[in-house]
Structures are given as structure tokens and as C-alpha cells.
Structure 1
Amino acid sequence: MRDTVITRDMVANPKTKYGNARASTRHFITQRVTGAINIAFLIFLLFVVVRLAGQDRPDMVSVLGNAWIGLPLAALLVVVTVHMRNGMRDVLEDYFAGSLYRLLMLLNTLFCILVAVAGVAALLKLVFWG
């Protein structure tokens, strides 16, 4: 399988088809929606951070162990990692191509999954098992 080289002439000509239009649209919408959700959750996150400021570990565990706090934070963590993966995808698309791009995207995806799973597991442990 050969890598397609996109030239300046192809990009400048609006009738030239390059890239996957459906995937690009999905990526654009996902990035905007996750960004909007991050902004909406910012107030909630600030509340939690201010509530935990100066508290010791048992108080932190009791606040984060509350289902009304811990479960939305777990959902926020998933949304943030999706947003992070898409943002890094933009950077990787700009600077890398071919098999190196695919390798870096795989590593990016695995890192984001690792962060999401570890964070959600920790929050769910606090919520359900203290």
C-alpha cells in the first residue's frame, strides 16, 4: 500500500478530493462537542477543587466517594481523554505521515485509553468501595 502524497496544488484546488470527508466531519464535530462539554464541566470541576482545598485524605475520599461527585468526574475524565486524543491527532497529522503517523496514533490512542481506564477505575473504586 502506497502513501498518497498531498501536494500544494491538490490542497489549493477545491475540486480535488483528498482525505475522508465523513471521518473529518466526525472528528470536527467530536472535537467541538467535547470542548463544549469540558467548558460546561469546568464549573463543576472548580467546585470540587475548591471544596478539596486544604482537606486531608479522609475528607477527599468522602467527597470523591460521593456518587454525585465521583461519577460525573469519571464521565468528565472520559470526555477529556477523547478531546485529548483528537487534539493530539491534529498535531500528529500536521507533522507526520505514513507508517510513522500510524504508529504514533496507535501510541496516542493507547496512552489516552490507559489514562481513562486508570482514572475511571480509581474514581469508581472510591465511589463503590470507598
Structure 2
Amino acid sequence: MREPLITKDTIANPRTHYGSASASTRRFITQRTTGAINIAFLGMLLFLVIRLAGEERMDVVALVGNPWIGLPLAFLIGIVATHMRNGMRDTLEDYLHGRMYSLVMMLNSLFCLLIAVAGIGAVLKLVFWG
């Protein structure tokens, strides 16, 4: 089935429905919230980078394995992956349509999920199992 042709007149007409209003609002709020959390955690990330510069692997494992450092770092990885997914989604929505859009959105979600699971799993392994 062919998608309806979307023109500037369709988008400019407030009586036409172009996308989901609730989903767009939710993504907008999520993007701004995760961005604010990323800014808040930037201090911790800078501390880790400066603190671990030039250190041996054992020192890095000991610092990241500390629950007071590792658990917020795992949380930050999840927030960054969510922010990355939404940001890429906004960019890809502008350029892709139809079946390619659906495929790329699914791949975007899977990639961000893979990054989040791998990063959080690695940090939690250090925190709970050394």
C-alpha cells in the first residue's frame, strides 16, 4: 500500500495529522530530560577521566568497581544510550520514509540497546564481581 503524498500544504494545514502528537511530546521531553541529566553527570565523568589519566589497569578497576562510582556510571551509560537513540531518531526521521524508515529505526534501537547492555554489563561486572 502506498503512503499518502505529504506536501508543504499538508504539513502547514492544522487539520491534517502528521505524526503522533503524544509520541512527539514524549520524545521531546525525554530528549531534554536526558540532556539535563547528561550535563549534571558531566562533573563525575570529568572527575573519572582526570583521576584515571595515566593510571594502571588495577587502579581503574578498583575505582570503577567502587559502588559509589560504578552504579552512577552504569546509570549514566543508560541515560546516554537513551539520549543517543532519540537524537539519531530525530535526524533519521528527516531523511528516511517508508520501509527504509522502519528498518533503520529498528536498527537504531537495537544498536543503542546493544551499547547500553554492553556498557552497563561491563560496569556492573566490575562493581559486583571485580
Instruction: Specify the TM-score bucket, using the shorter chain as the normaliser.
Output: over 0.9
Q: Percent of pairs identical after alignment? A: 66
Q: Deviations over 1:80-130 (max 9, x none)?
A: 000000001011100000110000001000000000000001000000011
Structure 1 residue ranges, 4+ long, deviating more than 4 angstroms after superposition: none
Query: In the alignment, which residue of structure 2 is the partner of 1:31?
Result: 31
Segments of 5+ residues of structure 2 without an aligned counterpart are none
Q: TM-score, normalization: structure 2?
A: 0.96
Partners in 2 of 1:47 and 1:69 — Cα distance? 10
Separation in 2, partners of 1:29, 1:89: 14
Tell me by how many angstroms 1:17 deviates: 2.1
Q: Which amino acid aligns with 2:5?
A: V
Question: Alignment length, in residue pairs?
Answer: 130
Give the equivalent residue in structure 1 for 2:83. Answer: 83
SS of residue in 1 equivalent to 2:24: helix
Aligned equivalents of 2:71, 2:5: Cα separation in 1:
45
Aligned to 1:55: 55
Corresponding residue for 2:121? 121
| 1:15 Cα deviation after fit | 3.4
Alpha-carbon offset, residue 11 of structure 1: 1.5
Deviates more, 1:40-49 or 1:8-17: 8-17
**Bigger shift: residues 20-29 or 8-17:** 8-17
Distance 1:94 1:69 in 2: 38
Gaps of 5+ in 1: none
Q: 2:111, 2:104 → 1: CA distance?
A: 10
RMSD (Å) for aligned C-alpha atoms: 1.0
Q: How many Å separate the matches in 2 of 1:4 and 1:88? A: 25
Question: Which stretch of the first structure deviates more once superposed, 12-21 or 50-59?
Answer: 12-21
Structure 2 counterpart of 1:22: 22
SS in 2 for 1:17: coil
Q: State the match for 1:65 in structure 2.
A: 65
CA distance in 1, matches of 2:107, 2:17: 28
TM-score, with normalisation over the residues of structure 1?
Answer: 0.96
Q: Which residue of 2 aligns with 1:104?
A: 104
